[in-house]
Structure 1
Amino acid sequence: MSRSEEITQNEVRFPTQQLFILALCRFAEPIAFTSILAYIYVFTLDLRPDDEANAPFFAGLLVSAFALAEAATCVMWGSISDRYGRKPIVLIGLGGTALSSLIFGFAQNYWVGLAARVIGGGLNGNVAVIQTMVSEMVKSPDHEPRAYSVMPFVWSAGSILGAAMGGYLAQPSKSFPSIFPVDGLFGKYPYLLPNLVASAYIAFAIVIGMIFLRETNTSPTQKSRPQEDISQASADERTPLRPRSSAALMSISSDQDHSTTGRRPSLIGTNLSLTTSTTADLRRVSTISMGAVRPLIPSIFEGHQAESEDGNDIPATPWNREVVLLIVQLIVMSYHQMAFASLLPVFIVDEPTTGHLDLRGGLGQTVRDVGTYFSVTGVVAMLIQVLVYAPLVERVGVWRSFILFTILVPLTYIVTPFLTALDSSGIQVGVYADMMANSFALIIIYPCLLILIKNATPSLSMLGQVNGLAMAACSGARTFAPPLAGYIYSKGGSAVGWWSIAAAAILGGLLLFPMSPPVGAGESVSD
């Protein structure tokens, strides 16, 4: 074997080692982000004891502040990573998360805690940058589904550990008084321990990243381009941040003839893996990552697609009726998903106001119970992703699966306030059943929506634009869901709060009526 053949073979090898190192870095964020969910309500009550009625709203602000600050700065960090490289930005993001966690742990004032969350989100551009590093590590299109599924899996695993850590380590002087005395450090700062543990892991991830993580942006200063032929490709939303193998380029743009451009493509939109293939194995695809979704059914607009690839008839706009309605569905789903995740810990810990069916108060359980619920449900959700999702959608079909679970998911919100009518053992079973049913429905709905949006887009050249707007809109929905749901809960009681979320989910069901089944989406994937 010649040296050139050996180099080519190495280039298409799956980047296991680097993906593992990147996963260690990524693992830090879900731990830090989800650990506060378990104790966010009691944290707010402790720091705002005179405003208990509005505690759900202010707890929601703490949840959404990180996401809002991250959304406001992610484009900036992406642009900086284009110029100076991905690795420094990843390390800065980890450092910002550690700093935010420590400030939050030491906070004895609500507004200091809120500022800590804003700092953490503002200094963290790793969501887009890490996903872009994955795309730059992968040299072969055949490796993309497997590679793109790594980071969503890491997020799920980190979320499980984070929820458990927050539930068991918060207020340690109450849970473990013999180890952590009330008059000690962790008695004075009851929420420091989970944040200290998270920061310690982040410090470990920073050291590993500094030593072993390789820079994937090989020309961060924009002074040179490794391959001259990349300048002939379209520099649109789908253009990779660095030159890829010829096979990868062909999977994005085949037989396109565009004018030469000298500028380096932006980070925006490049974390979306694109392909012209119309079939894929669902078992190899992430159920969370937008970038991992490949079409499972023939394109809804096959005629337009073929013409667009030939360059004869590119549609003037991607915003056809199907695309708009599907994006609205995605926004609605993002809202009620995040509202559920942020309001449930409040409901579990909130004290009941009556002895039986209580439509204003909560379940009166502990922070440790919250951590246990989220951890167990997270494990079950991962098993559903791996074992249930693909066979179910292959058998039922993408469109039918989407319709079925969009209709059923509001029930998981409608029944939640009635859990207060159960006894102590029944409450535990009811919470698990409610959370698992909700997770099951959303695990099916989300990837099906992404697949349908991808197939409804008239031309692949417009997919980056469509996906970019869809993700931005979803970020907005997830940002405003926690404080809005918390405000409704605080003003109207638990039942009104949950039924407002159910109303949003029902709206998603009503939006099904003006939608027509896409061609081919009703059949099973295997057909």
Structure 2
Amino acid sequence: MAERKLPVQQLTILALCRFAEPLSMLSILPYLPEMIESFGVAEDDIALWAGVAASLYSACECIAAIPWSILSDHLGRRPVILASLTITMITSLLWGFSTNLTMALTARVLAGLGNGVAGIIRTMVAELCPWKELQPVAFSVMPIVWNLGSIIGPAFGGALSNPYDRLPGTPAGPHFFEKFPYALPNVASAGFFLGGIVIGIFFLKETLPSRKDHEDVALRMGKRLTCRAHEGLRKVRYLFIPGNEDETKPLLSGSSSTMFEPSLGSESNDDILEEEDEDQKGMVTWRDVLSKQSSLNLVAYGLLCMHSMSYDQILPVFMHHPVQNPNDADVSLPFKFSGGFGIDTSQISTLFTLYGVASMFFQFFIFPPCVRRFGTLRCFKACSVVFPIAYFMTPFASLLPGTFSKEAVILLIWFVKGLCTNVAFPSSTILLMNSVSNPRYLARFNGVSVVVSSIGRALGPSIMGPMFTFGVDKGYVIVPFWTLAVITALGVIPVFCLKDPDEMERENE
């Protein structure tokens, strides 16, 4: 048997396609309130419409996820990814050039409906790398890309938006970006999308079993372009390094186009999926897609998305909330207090950046060795137990004296949560992929998982926001965090009902 190797080239191309999405989506966060205010929205309603914009995106993404996945089962993964990236690029520009609230919300609706990349890219990773010993590394690539986008995106949007510092409600000047002050970051994002689309057209290979051997003119052109580029580089090197021409040939001279030649790894998936040639055209039912274990995995994954997104969204609100004097008559420790940290946006952004950098470290250096040593399911179970403890402890950080001590403790708790998040998400993804009974159900199943995650990410913040307001009004800032801790504790139940895929295989044998 040939040595199994990670399909690095294809994963790199998928990562480039994936990077454009968080860059575009998260770059709007720094200027979103100001942009909505520029549409003439009353100051008291800005938060409401910002929430509506976020909810519309998630809701529409939820609606469109399964149709995109089903379409990829018929047309192939590659054309659907390229079409989705193109739509998202156009809607990004539409958002940036919006001149009123209706146009902006329409752009968010279209962006959500057009975003079919996440689930299909996950399917392609599973099809590119079906070997369990390599999956921890393969499935950690896309979260790393997302974390990178989460660091660069907000800084990118904040730096490029409103370059002429035009105040909301003031007349536009003669310059183009005075008339459209929020267009520049979206134009730049569209450039990243365009780069991903071009690279995908020429170098991304199809992984759908029934279409992966299909001849493609663009891929052949990509191979020729790569060959010519390698040949030109070889000649340039020969000019500057005189000597035997053989000494300047690349080590992989027999396959000069392999740098970007689409490859599914050293061992073809044909050996793994060979029994599907006749089956591929058969009707797929939801009973085939959703087994007991895959359904439990979906519940665990949906709850993970819900509480992780809720915590990350409510935490900056808590940190920005005014400090409460411990001697206040409304304070009755240890449970009744409603103070926050009272820090400004720049300090919160710094903490977010530190969290993002730490998350990348956890994803790259902690997750793979942990999974190799303890197993995917054990890691997921351990993280599911830690989450409610971290959420339970969070509000008490505001009782510490001094801003530095508060920030240090909340950052420590946040790092613990980040470590668990960056281990739990790829672990859950691996368990999701391995719970599918037949590889040809992967795309549809991933469509369902995107729907579940979108519902969780939309539902969580919509519940926790009102809970925070209610708790603070009653003098109990612990309410949203303890509610989240209870939900997360209940989420431990489906996690501990999951079975290890390897053990299931041994039982079946």
TM-score range, shorter chain: 0.5 to 0.7
Distance 1:315 1:73, change over 3 A: closer
Q: Which residue pairs with 1:341 in the alignment?
A: 312
Determine the structure 1 residue equivalent to 2:483: 503
Between 1:487-496 and 1:375-384, the stretch displaced more is 487-496
Matches for 1:3-402 after TM superposition, within 5 Å: 15-44=7-36, 47=39, 49-50=41-42, 52=44, 55-135=46-126, 137=128, 146-173=137-164, 186=177, 189-216=180-207, 248=269, 251=272, 260-261=278-279, 263=281, 318-319=291-292, 327-348=298-319, 350=320, 352=322, 359=338, 363-366=342-345, 368-392=346-370, 401-402=379-380
Structure number with higher helix proportion: 2
- One-letter amino acid matched to 2:384: T
Q: Once the 2 structures are TM-superposed, how far is the Cα of residue 28 of structure 1 from its aligned partner?
A: 0.5
Gaps of 5+ in 1: 1-7, 176-180, 225-242, 270-313
SS at match of 2:292: coil
Letter in 2 for 1:500: P
In structure 1, the residue corresponding to 2:486 is in which secondary structure? Answer: helix
Q: Say which SS state the counterpart of residue 107 (structure 1) adopts.
A: coil
Cα distance, 1:202 vs structure 2:
1.8
Task: Give, as a single letter, the amino acid of the residue that structure 1 aligns with 2:464.
Answer: A
Q: 1:344 to 1:102 in 2, by over 3 A?
A: farther
Q: What is the deviation of 1:347?
A: 4.5
**For residue 222 of structure 2, what is the aligned residue in structure 1?**
none
Residue 439 (structure 1) shift? 0.8
**2:459 is the counterpart of 1:480:** yes
1:498 deviation in Å? 6.7
Q: Confirm whether residue 438 of structure 1 aligns to residue 410 of structure 2.
A: no
Stretch of structure 1 that moved more, 189-198 or 215-224: 215-224
Larger radius of gyration: 2
Contact 2:339–2:398 (8 Å) recurs in 1: no
Q: What residue in structure 1 maps to residue 235 of structure 2?
A: none
Distance 1:496 1:100 in 2: 41
CA shift, 1:199, in A, is: 1.9
* Distance change (3 Å), C-alpha of 1:210 and 1:249: closer
Tell me which amino acid in the other structure corresponds to 1:474.
S
Task: Name 2:250's counterpart in structure 1.
Answer: none
Query: Which residue type is aligned with residue 196 of structure 1?
Result: V
Residues 331 and 477 in structure 1, CA contact (< 8 A), matched pair in contact too? yes
Amino acid at match of 1:330: Y
**Deviation (angstroms), 1:95:** 2.2
Q: Tell me by how many angstroms 1:15 deviates.
A: 4.2
Give the Å deviation of 1:85.
4.1
Equivalent residue pairs, number:
439
TM-score (ref. length: structure 2): 0.67
92-101 or 185-194, which moves further after superposition?
185-194
- The Cα offsets for residues 333-368 of structure 1, whole Å up to 9 and x where unpaired, read as 2211111233344455x56386789837773512x4
Distance 1:197 1:36 in 2: 12
The 1:462/1:192 distance shift into structure 2, 3 A limit, reads closer
Unmatched segments (≥5 aa) in structure 2 = 167-171, 216-263, 329-336, 504-509
For 2:153, what is the secondary structure of its paired residue? helix
* Structure 1 residues 72 and 199: alpha-carbon distance in aligned structure 2, compared to 1, 3 A threshold: same
AA matched with 1:429: A
RMSD: 5.0
